[in-house]
Amino acid sequence: MTAPVSETATQALQEDAPIEKPPRGAPWWANQRIGLLVLVVLLGVLFGILRPAFYNQQLVIFPLLRDIAMFTVVGLAQLCVLSIGHMNLAVGRMAAFSMMLTGISYDLFHLTLYSGLLVGLVAGTAIGALAGWVIARTGVNSFVVTLALDFLLLGLIPLVYTGLTDNAAFVTKPPGMRELRNYSLADVCVGNVCGSPAVPQLALFAVVAMAVVGWIYARTRLGRELLMTGSSVKAAELSGIPTARRVITAHAMSGCLAALAGFMLAVSTGSIKATIGEEFMLPSFLGPILGGTLLAGGFVSIWGTLIGTALTSVIRKGLDLLGVGLESLNIYLGLILLVALSTDRVRTVLSERQEVRRQ
Amino acid sequence: MKRFARSTEMTLLVIGIVFFIGLVIASGGDLLAANSLRVLLQFLAVPILIGLAQMVVLAVGQLNLAVGAIGGFAAAAMGVLMADHGVSVPLALLIGFLLAGIVGLLNGVLVVLTRINGFIVTLATMTILLGVQYRLVGTRTVDAYPQGLKTFGAAALFGVIPWIFVVALIVAGLLAVMLKRTVPGRQLLASGGNPIAARLSGISNDRSVIVAHTLSGAILGVAAILTVASSPGVNKSIGGDWLLPSFAAPIIGGALLTGGSAVVLGTVLAAFIVRFVDTARAEFSLEPSWVNFVVGAVVLGSVVLGQVRTRRQERRSVVKSPDVAVAGGVS
Amino acid sequence: MTLFQASEIVKVFPGVRALDGVTLSLEAGSVHALLGENGAGKSTLIKVVTGLYRPDGGRLLLDGREVSFGSPHESASAGIGVVHQERNLIPGFTVGENIMLQKLPTSRGLIDRAAIRSEALRWLAELELDIDPDQPVTELSVAQAQLVEIAKALSVESRVLLLDEPTASITPNEAALLFRVVEKLKDDGRAVLFVSHKLEEVFQICDTVTVLRDGASVLSGGALSELTRDQVVDLMVGRVHEALNLPDRTVDTSVAPILELRGVGTATGHSEVDLTVRPGEIVGLYGLVGAGRSELAKALLGLDRITAGEVLVRGQAVKIRTVRDALRNHKIGYVTENRKEEGVFLEQSVARNIAVTIWDRLRKFLGYVPAKSETEMVKSYVEQLGIRIASPSQHAGTLSGGNQQKVSLAKWLAAQTEILIIDEPTVGIDVRTKDAFHTLIWDLAANGLAILLITSDLPEMITLADRVVVMRDHRIQGELPNTHDYDQMSQQVIRLIHATPSTLGAA
């Protein structure tokens, strides 16, 4: 493949100007994700010293990992829309909506566990795509559209539940749901070697989600085009990227992941009810933002989302074991969010001061 | 006058009046009874205030996710001070009001100092305050505060217009005067409308942001007072359902998320309409969920219409609002 | 009498001396031009004078007294009014409020609307403008908005007025009105600083000139009457600018046009646009800013509706709906004039910036894009276009304007387009790189690319184009074969632009 640039032109274009070097990258210790990882490990050790029960595989590690897995998927759901510079305030309600349809499929159509999951994923994708379509079509801010959608679903879901169930929860549980809740890798054996009993099988869903989302953003055209759209919609449009379609794709991905997270929550709590996803909004932003994903779009970090989520979950669990009331944990989570982002901001300002800037 | 006739406020006013007449007819005139009117207005006071609290930060191009948390926290603080510590009513209310204002101030200062997106800052303060509110009241319902306050909360002018509604209207009036007729108010709107131009005109955008967040906190302080006065007690769930309505009212009222619009009247009218939806729901004995459903639909409908309108205007005008839709129609 | 003087101003940014001993003095009752190429330090100087930047050396003197400005507000209160390049009106406010924004009159704590109205009227009257102070600024035309800004600048009782590129986005008629206002300000004894790229205007209305080059003043306060246009250009460029020597290139006129517009009308207001471009041909589309040239290009790409006529690509009538369609099915590319917002992704790597158009081609199963083929492609263009970067993963935002423009162009070359619409390719690019771009564009055409060149830079047009099509008010005024003779061509083009439709037949 050769370009139609001849040597004369190439020669004319060569400049004697010095190479424009990018500002030096921050040293490894200033890397946000590594800093967070170190923090997670340190906190894990600290809690372990204060409360040896922190290392109890069945009572602490197992549910902790299950939480991390679920909230990572929630974070990824938000990450998909953050990548194009949008937000999804309805992330929790999309999960509830999808699980409602999953519940109906179990209750009325007696589907198997995984066919029901599939129904949920399709529903989540559809409702996400709907949000994306409205945004792309009207040009209204994603914040407002997903907020309004949240309202709509908040109204719709209880109506359906009261219409179809007695106690605002679907009671039919497909076979395998209860088992999935408690299965760990110890139940997966290759010959005589079995996995750790501390790792829940549910975590595999998060691993798959991370792998797929990671692959999309790092290796495929779609992921790159999403990031370019996030960087500059105008430039993306003028570079031949179908930005309207990308907006819909991003929101559809978000809805699909929200549905998956809803399923994981339903499995781990053992019930499909209207309130699923109510507590998703804050963690959905915490994980990606702490992990370095930009609110403005154009950059995502899948590992960062995992580490950010792990940090908040470890703190939650650790403080819980230390006897801090569950609801007051919020105080610490909020403070961490502020401190983490402020220090990050301070770092940026410091490096900007050093940076050579032309005016 | 011609401009007003085409404005969002006018549309809302017409819709509101038609809606109200419809409700009156549907209720067979019962709605006009003093008691029904009083109840209608009683539950309007707080929604008006939380809508205004959000509107004032939207005006400067920010948003406040902590509206419910600030209100709930302030209400909890007032309740606990009066019930557990025997602080006198006026002092407790004053402290609660000041606390709300201070949290708003802190929000503003944090946004300005850290340059972190206001969304994240208020998300963080929301989380913190939810924890604090729980610490204060736990699972209790604090209601052992002087009867006088509750009497005020239930009292009504001529038996029809609740005093707490009057208070909300006074706050709305003061806010309107401040935004339209005072220098800090105009500066706040200038910062929201075109920050660069504002800066070049010697206006401190940082100060505008701080003023807006502080005002938001203070309005929520008033909302907290009215809540404490009019509800049977204070618990951890107060403020929990404020966030969505706080956005609904200004957005339906015509506020731009990008800043620069002061829609006090629009916000108040939108709060009325939302209240009518609720009244209609009760009238036809429908599920409470219908209200959220309808409000969601109305919010979506009004922003879509608003967008169409701005686009049409932009074709004609050169002084654009900063949120120009691009070819792909993506915001 | 010298009203204002900036003497030996130094402004240092980390690693760069943006201003290195600049002297500028403004006389009462005189219009002074500030000239210099992009990057010469004009905007930095203005920011120093208006208090946005603090100088690191030198002095500012107002009426002979040393002053220092900590903020735009301080400089305004000292009597220095500015009209900035960007429109700086508050959308939701009235004309009156915008004019008086810097010191809103109050009475008893409230804003005094009557006072706003009367004060604003006074300044509008000063400029002989018939605009209602109670009108919202959203209802003004571009030129009216500009004049309102001048009124606003005057409202601080300014005796020194800085006009930064005031004619960049207004029509010649509107500019004439502006110049009358400037004349009036001058007669009133004010000192006016006029910053412009358009030398014709500078020679028309300015008395004296300061020329900046590389952050220093190479001419400070010279009388324009004693200078020729060429001398001024030489001062700006810093060397005697030689005409670019390009090899011969002929267009095979027997080949059918690859792009043809027949009586095209668009939703943005074009009508009856006829235009043809052949392979290997550079067709220049000339016109003033606002004539509708970029809008035509965008309509061609499907970004705006085509309402009449037909577009033929390779002889086939086509309906292009999206840029992707234009690129994929018709091999049409568009290098935008708005580099920073539409051309490059500032926060993304150079590699991705160049590869954005070819992912579609490189992708394998499930949209997988192999990193290797992408890197190779990018590398080849980085080398061929001489893009100076440390690594392809460097963010495009860290590059200079010239290198960014190369990146913006590279993606269309990588996409193997056959029709390239190039919009204002050398705006904000230094003279040396400009020549290189001209060579490149010339060369691309020689290799068979069909190029539609949109530019407001007449010398650029006359250097490159084979034919010049002149557009005005969204219509084609006429077409001229290019003789590459500057004096002759520029006269013809200018005459064509200002021809009334009835005299068009004679052109």
To the nearest whole percent, how much of chain C has pLDDT over 90? 18
How confident is the model at residue C197, as a pLDDT? 72
Closest CB to A334 among B128, B251, B325:
B128
Q: Check pLDDT > 60 for residue A27.
A: no
Gap between the Cα atoms of A247 and C466, Å rounded = 42
If you count residue pairs, one on A and one on B, with CB atoms under 8 Å apart, how many are there?
170
Q: What is the CA radius of gyration of chain A?
A: 23
Could you say which of C416, C439, C472 is where a domain stops? C416
DSSP symbols for A18-35: PPBPPPPPPPGGG-HHHH
pLDDT digits (tens, 9 = 90+) for C410-456: 999 888 899 999 998 887 676 667 888 888 899 899 888 999 999 87
Are C90 and B190 inside 8 Å of each other by CB?
Answer: yes
The residue out of C383, C416, C449 marking a domain boundary is C416
- At residue C437, the pLDDT reads 87
pLDDT for residue C39: 64
Q: How far away is chain A from the Cα of C337, in angstroms, using its nearest Cα? A: 11
Q: Give the pLDDT band of residue B4 (cuts 50, 70, 90).
A: low
A170: helix, coil or strand? strand
Contacting residues of B for C104, CB less than 8 Å apart: 183, 186
Higher-confidence residue of C497 and A247: namely A247
Chain C residues lying within 8 Å of A10, measured CB to CB:
383-386
Q: Residue C198: is its pLDDT beyond 80? A: no
> How far, in Å, are A253, C266, C362 from residue C365 at the CA level?
19, 40, 10
- Token output for B11: 């549309």
Nearest to B8 by CA among B330, B322, B273: B273
- The answer, yes or no, to whether residue B243 has pLDDT greater than 90, is no
Range of the domain at C22: 2-237
C155 with C61, same domain: the answer is yes
Q: Degrees (nearest 5) of the Cα angle B288, B289, B294?
A: 110
With respect to residue C296, please indicate whether it lies within any of the assigned structural domains: yes
Work out the pLDDT band at C506, boundaries 50, 70, 90. very low
| CATH architecture label of A69-173+202-281 | Orthogonal Bundle (1.10)
| pLDDT score, position A22 | 55
Question: What gap in Å lies between CA B197 and CA B203, rounded to an integer?
Answer: 9
For chain A, the domains span 69-173+202-281
Where is pLDDT greater, at C176 or A302? A302
Beta bridge partners of C6: C24, C60
Instruction: Answer whether residue B104 shows pLDDT above 80.
Output: yes
Look up tokens 């997670």; give the residue.
A40
Strand partners, C422: C335, C453
Q: pLDDT of B200-211, one tens digit each? A: 888 889 999 999
pLDDT of residue A19: 60
Asked if B32 has any chain C CB less than 8 Å from its own CB, the reply is no
Q: What is the pLDDT of residues A306-343, one digit of tens each?
A: 999 999 899 888 888 887 776 777 888 888 778 877 77
Number of separate domains in chain C? 3
Between the alpha carbon of residue C387 and those of residues C350, C392, C400, the distances in Å are 10, 10, 10
Asked whether residue C409 falls in the same domain as residue C426, the answer is no
User: How sure is the predictor about B320, in pLDDT bands with cuts at 50, 70 and 90?
Assistant: very low
> pLDDT tens across C142-194, in order?
778 888 888 888 888 788 999 888 877 677 777 888 888 889 888 988 899 99
CA dist C12 and C22 (Å) reads 12
CB contact under 8 A, B318 and C92: no
Give the C-alpha separation, C275 to C452, whole Å: 10
Which CATH number among 1.10.760, 1.10.10, 1.10.600, 1.10.3470 corresponds to the domain B35-315? 1.10.3470
pLDDT over 70 for what percent of chain C? 93
Instruction: Enumerate the domain spans of chain B.
Output: 35-315
Shared-domain flag, residues C54 and C38: yes
Chain segment A340-349, per-residue pLDDT in tens: 777 766 666 6
Band of pLDDT at residue A120, cut at 50, 70 and 90:
very high
pLDDT of residue B178: 93
Render C340-362 in DSSP notation, one character per residue: IIII--TTSBHHHHHHTTTHHHH
C259 DSSP β-pair partners: C277, C313
Q: How confident is the model at residue A353 (pLDDT cuts 50, 70, 90)?
A: low
Rounded distance between C-alpha atoms, residue C312 and residue C274, angstroms: 11
Q: How far is C483 from chain B (nearest CA, A)?
A: 38
**Rounded mean pLDDT, A245-266:** 96
| Closest Cα in chain C to B177 | C110
Distance between B193 CA and the closest CA of chain C, angstroms: 5
Residue type for B106, please? L
Q: Considering only CB atoms, which chain B residues are within 8 Å of A149?
A: 296, 300
Residue A203 has pLDDT above 70, yes or no: yes
Per CB-CB distance under 8 Å, the chain A contacts of B313 are: none
Q: Compute, in degrees rounded to 10, the torsion defined by CA atoms B167, B169, B172, B177.
A: -100
Which whole number is the average pLDDT over B228-241?
88
Residues of B with Cβ-Cβ distance to C46 under 8 angstroms: none
Report, as an integer, the average pLDDT of C286-315: 87
Instruction: Closest CB to A3: pick one of C368, C399, C413.
Output: C413
Which of chain B's residues have a Cβ under 8 Å away from the Cβ of A138?
303-304, 307-308, 329
Q: Name every chain B residue with its beta carbon within 8 A of the beta carbon of C109.
A: 182
Coil/strand/helix, residue A296: coil
Mean pLDDT score of chain A: 85
- Residue C339: per-residue pLDDT: 84
* pLDDT of B6: 65
Contacts of C114 (CB under 8 A, 6+ apart): none
CATH of the domain at C296: 3.40.50.300
pTM of the model: 0.85
Do C37 and C172 lie in a common domain?
yes
Chain B residues with CB-CB distance to C139 below 8 A: 317
A232 and chain C in contact, CB less than 8 A: yes
What confidence score (pLDDT) does residue C501 get? 53
Q: How far apart are CA C273 and CA C296, in angstroms?
A: 9
Identify which has the larger pLDDT, A350 or A118.
Answer: A118
Average pLDDT over residues C89-114: 88
Among C residues 440-459, those touching chain A with beta carbons less than 8 Å apart:
440, 442-444, 446-449
Top pLDDT among A237 and A18 is at: A237
Judged by CB atoms closer than 8 Å, whether chains meet at A151 and B295 is answered as yes
How many Å lie between the alpha carbon of A236 and the closest alpha carbon of chain B? 9
Subunits with 3+ Cβ pairs within 8 Å of B are A, C
pLDDT of the residue at A71: 96
Residue C245 domain flag: no
Give me the interface pTM, i.e. the ipTM. 0.83
The closest of B191, B301, A62, B135 to C93, measured between CA atoms, is: B191
Band (C297; pLDDT cuts 50, 70, 90) = very high
Count the helix, strand and coil residues of chain B and give each as a percent rounded to the nearest 5. Answer: 75, 0, 25
Q: What is the pLDDT of residue C210?
A: 92
Q: Which of A239, A247, A357 to mutate to test the interface with C (most CBs of C within 10 A)?
A: A239
pLDDT at residue C223, rounded to an integer = 85
Interface test with A, best of B62, B70, B127 (most A CBs within 10 A): B127
**pLDDT of amino acid C38:** 62
- The backbone torsions φ and ψ at residue C21, rounded to the nearest 5 degrees and listed phi first, read 80, 60
Per the CB < 8 Å rule, is B303 touching A150?
Answer: no
Cα Rg, chain C, nearest whole Å: 25
What pLDDT shows up at residue C254? 84
In one-letter notation, the amino acid at residue C404 is: Q
User: Could you tell me if residue C246 is inside a domain?
Assistant: no
Question: Do both C358 and C440 map to the same domain?
Answer: no
Interface contact flag, B190 C101, Cβ < 8 Å: yes
% of chain A residues with pLDDT over 90 = 42
Could you tell me which chains touch chain C, where touching means 3 or more CB pairs under 8 A?
A: A, B
Same domain as C191, residue C116 = yes
| Most confident by average pLDDT, C105-109, C200-204, C206-210, C434-438 | C206-210
Q: Is residue A352 over pLDDT 70? A: no
Q: What average pLDDT does the segment C483-502 reach? A: 74
Q: Specify the pLDDT at position C287.
A: 81
Cα distance from A256 to chain B (closest Cα, Å)? 21
Higher pLDDT, A75 or C461: A75
Min mean pLDDT across A265-269, B249-253, B321-325, C431-435 is at B321-325
Confidence of residue C503 (pLDDT cuts 50, 70, 90): very low
pLDDT for C282 beyond 90: yes
More confident residue, C495 or C28: C28
Weakest mean pLDDT among A64-68, B211-215, C69-73: C69-73
Residue among B119, B303, B308 whose CB faces A144 most closely: B303
Per-residue pLDDT tens for A172-199?
888 888 888 888 877 777 777 777 778 8
Which CB contacts under 8 angstroms, 24+ apart, belong to C66-75? C71/B202, C72/B199, C72/B200, C72/B201, C72/B202, C73/B201, C73/B202, C73/C102, C74/B202, C75/C49, C75/C50, C75/C51
Residue A18 pLDDT: 58
Query: Is A219 an interface residue toward B (CB < 8 Å)?
Result: no
- Of C359, C393, C416, the position where a domain reaches its end is C416
- Residue with the two structure tokens 């792990």: A310
Is C366 inside a domain boundary?
Answer: yes
Contact C73 B201 (CB under 8 A): yes
